[in-house]
Amino acid sequence: MIERNIAKAISELMLVYPVIALTGPRQSGKTTLLKSMFKDYRYISLENPDNRFFAEQDPNGFLELYNQKVIFDEVQRVPSLFSYIQTLVDESKTMGQFILSGSQNFSLMKNITQSLAGRVALFKLFPFDFEELNSHNLLTPDYSSMLVRGCYPALYDRPMPTTPFYANYIETYVERDLSELLNIKDIRLFRTFLKLCAGRIGQQLNLTNLANETGISIPTVKSWLSILESSYITYQLPPFFNNFNKRLVKSTKLYFYDTGLACYLLGIKSEKSIQESEFKGALFENMVINEYIKQNYHHGLYREFYYWRDSNGHEVDLLVSNETTYDVVEIKATKTILPKLFDGLDLLKNIGKETINRKILVYGGTESQNRSNYKIWAWNSIKIDF
């Protein structure tokens, strides 16, 4: 079994918090991780109708039976439990008393903020990061196969073709979450919306354009995007507009948490298709930013991420906060290092001056270099400084 980097951070904070909450995409390995880490804890899934009925109808009796060293999976399915758990942990003052897990972030976080604020340490587990895959020699030398396959653990646990996996993922998880939170009458329309989102990876989000192409209203676009984000399908990267320049854009950029799912939605099914696709650069950029996000959460680093662009179209793909300074990262799918690849980094260095820490180029090749003014990283060697 591949060890997950997040285990260390969880182990540390469960000593000082009575409740640990782990969320993240469905099929990212949450249940496997918790069962392997906490073998002396009882595991109760609230997806199970019998368990859920017991918890809903008799919460006091339920928590009298399961009152300590318990993992409650998909706990958001019984919202009433959170207030009872609050009372128990306030009375017992036992650290690591409950571990809560859920895949629907909107519902989980709503109940946590209402009942367990200050009592819970929050963690997010994403599909495998590169370090985890590399520890078992599962990181391929060419990025094309990684883009298509994605990083969901099930695809590495056993031989499984990607197309049926992602087709089933959409149908069994995404659409189920959607139907529970929204009353959508036309699933086909939503699938069209998903595909249109995939075609906008790395682009500034234009809600009006997306609404017109899908044939829905702007409020519906906002609602559907919110559900995709709460289900860990997509996320939005905000622009940086602190003091670098007064003429900066304010639109977010859209990305998917897993490029394998995005490739499936775009009809890309092979490495050859990636190389011929107009989306190759955007998907590569998406994969690299995903790796930064995964390392950030898996190691408990609490960094913030932005992109930078001014009104003249000058852009840097990623800014990574590091206390009072920033790493600026340019991301290019090319395997050849050319002088023009550094233009954006140099521009931002001149504007930002002392606020810029490192200038990093992440590219599609396999050789990393340390130059006088730049760090050049192969795509599979990304590592945030801890």
213: domain CATH number is: 1.10.10.10
Query: Comparing 195 with 244, which gets the higher pLDDT?
Result: 195
Burial class of residue 7 (count of CB atoms within 10 Å of its CB; 0-12, 13-18, 19+): middle
147 and 275 together in one domain: yes
**Residues 271, 18: Cα–Cα separation, whole Å:** 47
3-state secondary structure of 331: strand
115 and 185 together in one domain: no
Q: pLDDT tens-digit profile of 53-101? A: 999 999 999 999 999 999 999 998 898 999 999 999 999 999 999 999 9
Residue 210 lies in a domain: yes
**Residues 287, 294: Cα–Cα separation, whole Å:** 10
**Residues 92, 95: Cα–Cα separation, whole Å:** 9
**Residues 232, 284: Cα–Cα separation, whole Å:** 19
3-state secondary structure of 71: strand
Buried b (16+ CB within 10 A) or exposed e, 347-380: bbbebbeebbbbbbbbbbbeebeeeeebbbbbbb
Residue 108 has, within 13 A of its CA and on its CB side, a CA count of 27
Residue 229 lies in a domain: yes
Domain stops at, among 99, 124, 149: 124
172 and 274 together in one domain: yes
113 and 174 together in one domain: no
Residue 247 confidence (pLDDT) above 60 = no
Q: Identify any residues that bridge with 45 across adjacent strands, giving them in sequence order.
A: 73
Positive/negative CA dihedral, 341, 342, 344, 345:
positive
Q: What mean pLDDT comes out for the span 116-140?
A: 93
Residue 361 lies in a domain: no
Q: What mean pLDDT comes out for the span 199-220?
A: 95
Take residue 75 and report the two structure tokens written for it.
């706990």
**Residues 303, 318: Cα–Cα separation, whole Å:** 12
Domain stops at, among 61, 94, 124: 124
265 and 209 together in one domain: yes
64: domain CATH number is: 3.40.50.300
**Residues 377, 147: Cα–Cα separation, whole Å:** 18
Q: Identify any residues that bridge with 309 across adjacent strands, giving them in sequence order.
A: 315
139 and 256 together in one domain: yes
Residue 17 lies in a domain: yes
93 and 144 together in one domain: no
Q: What pLDDT was estimated at residue 10?
A: 97
111 and 156 together in one domain: no
3-state secondary structure of 169: helix
Range of the domain at 68: 6-124
The region of weakest confidence among 139-143, 348-352, 377-381 is: 348-352
265 and 137 together in one domain: yes
Residue 37 lies in a domain: yes
Q: Identify any residues that bridge with 72 across adjacent strands, giving them in sequence order.
A: 44, 100
Residue 23 lies in a domain: yes
Q: What pLDDT was estimated at residue 173?
A: 75
Residue 42 lies in a domain: yes
Confidence of residue 205 (pLDDT cuts 50, 70, 90): very high
Q: What pLDDT was estimated at residue 378?
A: 95
Neighbours of 127 (CB within 10 A): 25
Take residue 259 and report the two structure tokens written for it.
């490029």
51 and 35 together in one domain: yes
Domain stops at, among 94, 124, 154: 124
Q: What mean pLDDT comes out for the span 279-283?
A: 97
Residue 355 lies in a domain: no
274 and 218 together in one domain: yes
163 and 135 together in one domain: yes
Confidence of residue 243 (pLDDT cuts 50, 70, 90): low
Q: Please name the residue that has the structure tokens 């409740």.
A: 19
Give the chain's length: 386
Take residue 28 and report the two structure tokens written for it.
């990212």
**What is the total count of domains within the chain?**
2
